[in-house]
Chain A
Amino acid sequence: MVNFGYGLTPSSAVKIIEGEDKLYRKLCEMEPDVKKCMACGSCAASCTAGDFTEMNLRKLILSLQRGYYQQALPMVKNCMLCGKCNIVCPRGINTRHLIMSIQKIYNL
């Protein structure tokens, strides 16, 4: 192959394939409240682990909704299940229970 001095970089765009993500649908069945998230970030702002680790529940929920979970799931191990996010969620989502369900469904 002739070397032209440049190459192709794989696209970094998130590829969203509608209807493909069975796991997220299963999560919705188990935790229907996950659909109520409006991404305000109250959970992430109050998170005791968030200052020191990648843990960010708002980001995690969004990533799961987009079917983009491989990159996002590792953050869950930082959660200490303290439940502070549970107190602040303005949509009344039982976030602590949601996190445990995520652990279960995605085999963490």
Chain B
Amino acid sequence: MRIVVCMKQVYDPATTRISRSREEFDLRGAVKITNTPDKHALEAALRLRAAVGGEVIALSLGDAEADDVCREAIAMGADRALLISGPEVIGVTGRAVARALTAGVRYLDAVDLVLTGQVGLTDGTGSLAPRLAAELGWEVCLDAVRLAPMTDGQIEVTVACSPGVGEIVCLALPAVISVATGSERPRYAHPARIANAWAPGLVEVCSCTRLGLDAAALTADVEVGGLILPPERTRGQTIVGPTETAADELVGLLRTKRIL
């Protein structure tokens, strides 16, 4: 089975701030990481490969730094990676991302399954998988927690509905599936694979033109109208007094605020 896993580089939410004055993300000091939900997708792909054999290819889109994402995917177990790069793809969103990745999937040829993470950290919308399916004209299933191969060109997907309740659906391949973060925890990359991940020939870098994609196809279909900021943090409340009465007061407050 040839499995493509879409993986992107995001700013680590723990290192991004929101600037209230400029009403935008403040990215000074922000650190780029591999979108963790995408690692869940990769984990699912690696498990599938272990069960049925085949090849796992990481597919990323971004600037030269996104090479790090490809290397990390290889260190975790992906066989190779394709990075779609070049000035036309910098800052693209929504449909344009799906179109570029679709071109990548077609270029990789004979792909049976495309996996994505559930959502992009920082500013994701979780719309990649359905958009990809629309572009590719394939079956789609969202938020899978488990994938099991079937013999007849289908795949069995377990989808978590609510805690403890799952639904099993069978999907005809080729298909696009987004993998839920509630799925198996991504494995640690093996140190020896980490040491080898920067070897030449593992990451292929392609421009959109190479993939036969017209820059006109990459126009935005959504525009960010504005940013809704979380409410300003209010000063905390200090409870004073002897421990016993203070504890009662604290519990009372937590109850009225429905935290307890």
Answer yes or no: do A and B interact: no
